[in-house]
Each structure stands twice: as C-alpha cells, then as structure tokens.
Amino acid sequence: MTWHLTGLRRLDNIIWAAVALVAAFVLIAANFNGFTVVLRSFIAPASICLLLKLGTLYYRNWRTDHNLASTLEVTMQLIAFTVVGAPLSYVAASAALPLQDAALVHLDHALGFDWKELLAFMHRWPGFLKLMHMIYPSLILQMVAAVLLLGFTGRLSWLRAYMLAIIFAALITIAISVLLPAEGAWLYYGVTDVPAALPLSHTSWPVFFGLRDGSFRLLMGIGAEGIITFPSLHAALAVILVAAFWPVPIARWVAVTINSLMLAATPIDGSHYFVDVLAGIGIAVLSLAAARALVTWLAVIPATVATQQAASGPAGIAMSGVAGTHGAQ
C-alpha cells in the first residue's frame, strides 16, 4: 500500500489527541477526587519525550528519513500514553465498586479451569516457574522493540495501527475494570503465606486497596503499579505484540513463543483468573480490528487527494510526488 505523509500525520494526530484527552481527564479527576500528582515522577519521561520530539523534527524536516522520524514519533507516543494511562487506571480503581472475584471464579469453574491446580503445577516444576518469572516482565522491552522493528523496516502504517491497538486495548480494559473490579486470585484464595513464592505483581496489592479505601491518592508517571485484574491488559498486549511482529518473518515465531509463554505466566505472576486472560485476548482482537479499520479508512483520504491533484495537471502531479512516501503494510 502506498502511503502519504498526510495519512501518517492524520494517524499521529489521532494518537496525540487520545493522549491529550486521557491526560485532561486524569487531571480533572485528580482535582475532584483528592489525588496528588507526583510531578517529579513525570520529569524523566517528559524529558525523554522532548528529546524524541527534537529528533523527530530533525529527521522529518532537515535530514529527511521518514522511517527514523516515525520510529522516534511512535516511541514518544508509547511513553506519553503509558505515563498518562497508568494514572487513569488508578482513578478507575478509586471508584471502589463491589469486588467481582466470586463471579470470576465461578466463570473459571464453568469453563473447566482451576487456578489452584495451575499454581500447584508451577510449584512442582520450579524451573518452569523461574522461566515464567523471566518472561512476564518482558512486556515493556517487547513493546519498544516492536516500535523499533516496524519503524526501521518501513512498516509505517502498521506501526501506527500497533500504537492505536495499544491505546484501544488499554482504554477498554480500564473502563471495564471500573465496573468489574477484583482483587486477584492470590488474595481471593488466600495464598499469601509464602513470601518467597508470591507473584511479581504482589507489590500492587497495597496500592489497589489504598485506592479503594482512599488511603492512597498519589498519581505517578514512573513507578505506578499494574492494578487491573479483569480483563488482563497483559494478555491483551501479548496478543497485540504477536500481531505487531508478524509482518517481519525473522521475528514472527520468536514473538509467538515468548508471548505464548507470557500468556501462560499471566494467571500466576499477574494474579489473574483464566477468564481475565480470555477477556484480554478478546479485547486484543477487537482493538487490532478497530486499529486496522481506522488505518485503512484514513488511507483512502490521502490517496483520493493525490488522485485529484494528479487530475489537475502537472502542478498537481508535482505536489502529489512531494507529499508521498512508501510504507509497507
């Protein structure tokens, strides 16, 4: 698919609008719900974003390299959305609606899943459990690697679709978590008496309950905990990452292997029920479909403009050539 700079810029504008809206909502909610924004936690990501913006402008306007400019732009978008998305999840948790763990456990059993059996299996195979502990935190590294790989290989439209899918999945997950909050499997089953065996996510427990009872009211850019149980955002992002790496043959099966293991690790290290993982996978599929549809729809607009310019004569053809750039799907 031939892509034009105008199409990519439209997608970037949509992504930045989403970031701005989330940031505005968080600030308004912080003002009305007694939250304190920890400004120092936003200094480092803001500084990195500023440097990335300068690099983007340089490679877009002076030393033209659209692949590198897009890579820097989307890296900046990923950082910015992560920084505003985490506080949004805190605001969501502060709604403190009734916990839904019993219903989620009932759904697990109805589907034939037993979380405690999985935990027992993991403890019987400590080597596998250690591998899970290594795979589960790889999410952020993979997310950045996907941006770099898609950007440097010129898959610029799919790069934006990947970023949009992340935004859609996060916003849907956070919205659902307001209505269906849960404390997670470890706490629900009371399996918290062996500190050495606790999941990587156990540090989020005090924050989650502090947000619910009002004793924790800090919003942070760096250092925020993952506090959402249902649906699993970790599971959703694992599927989105497989889709992101899929167009690059050399990375395709590596991503499938790593993220399949991540999905297996999510119920234990993420303190999730099996239904959380299934819901996360479903959200990922919907988010990818919505992102792809939006990218495809916006591709028609610059293509139509280019056709009209070409029809207007030599001057129009020249303008179309200046506006155009190529990016593989």
As a whole number of angstroms, the distance between CA 255 and CA 60 comes to 30
Asked whether the predicted pLDDT for residue 188 surpasses 90, the reply is yes
Asked whether the predicted pLDDT for residue 322 surpasses 50, the reply is no
Q: What mean pLDDT is predicted for residues 138-143?
A: 94
Q: Write down the pLDDT at residue 272.
A: 94
DSSP β-bridge partners for residue 219: 37
Cα 225 to Cα 86, 93, 237, 270, distances in angstroms: 8, 12, 16, 11
Q: How confident is the model at residue 233 (pLDDT cuts 50, 70, 90)?
A: very high
Q: Write down the pLDDT at residue 192.
A: 72
Tell which wins on pLDDT, 203 or 216: 216
With beta carbons less than 8 A apart as the criterion, state whether 146 and 245 touch.
yes
Q: What is the pLDDT of residues 86-120, one digit of tens each?
A: 999 999 999 999 999 999 999 999 999 999 888 88
As a whole number of angstroms, the distance between CA 125 and CA 141 comes to 26
As a whole number of angstroms, the distance between CA 130 and CA 291 comes to 35
Q: Could you give the percent of the chain with pLDDT greater than 90?
A: 68
**Residue 324, SS3?**
strand
Q: What mean pLDDT is predicted for residues 208-230?
A: 93
Name the burial class of residue 154, with classes exposed (0-12), middle (13-18) and buried (19+) by CB atoms within 10 angstroms of its CB.
middle
Q: Write down the pLDDT at residue 301.
A: 56
DSSP β-bridge partners for residue 324: 4
Token match 């593989």: residue?
328
- Range with the lowest mean pLDDT among 297-301, 311-315, 317-321? 317-321
Asked whether the predicted pLDDT for residue 328 surpasses 60, the reply is no
Q: What mean pLDDT is predicted for residues 163-169?
A: 98
Asked whether the predicted pLDDT for residue 191 surpasses 90, the reply is no
Q: What mean pLDDT is predicted for residues 224-250?
A: 94
DSSP β-bridge partners for residue 37: 219
Q: Give the amino acid at 121.
A: F
Asked whether the predicted pLDDT for residue 312 surpasses 70, the reply is no
How high does pLDDT run on average in the chain?
87
With beta carbons less than 8 A apart as the criterion, state whether 218 and 36 touch.
yes
Global pTM?
A: 0.88
Task: Please give the radius of gyration of the chain, using alpha carbons only, rounded to the nearest integer.
Answer: 22
Q: What mean pLDDT is predicted for residues 141-148?
A: 96
Q: Write down the pLDDT at residue 156.
A: 92
Asked whether the predicted pLDDT for residue 267 surpasses 70, the reply is yes
Q: Write down the pLDDT at residue 327.
A: 43
Before 199, cis peptide (omega within 30)? no
Element (H, E) at 329: none
Asked whether the predicted pLDDT for residue 27 surpasses 90, the reply is yes
Name the burial class of residue 319, with classes exposed (0-12), middle (13-18) and buried (19+) by CB atoms within 10 angstroms of its CB.
middle
Tokens matching residue 13: 């504008």
Q: How confident is the model at residue 19 (pLDDT cuts 50, 70, 90)?
A: very high
Q: What mean pLDDT is predicted for residues 304-328?
A: 39
Q: What mean pLDDT is predicted for residues 251-270?
A: 92
| Alpha helices, H only, the chain | 5-32, 40-61, 66-93, 101-110, 115-124, 126-135, 139-152, 156-179, 185-189, 205-213, 233-245, 249-269, 274-311, 314-323
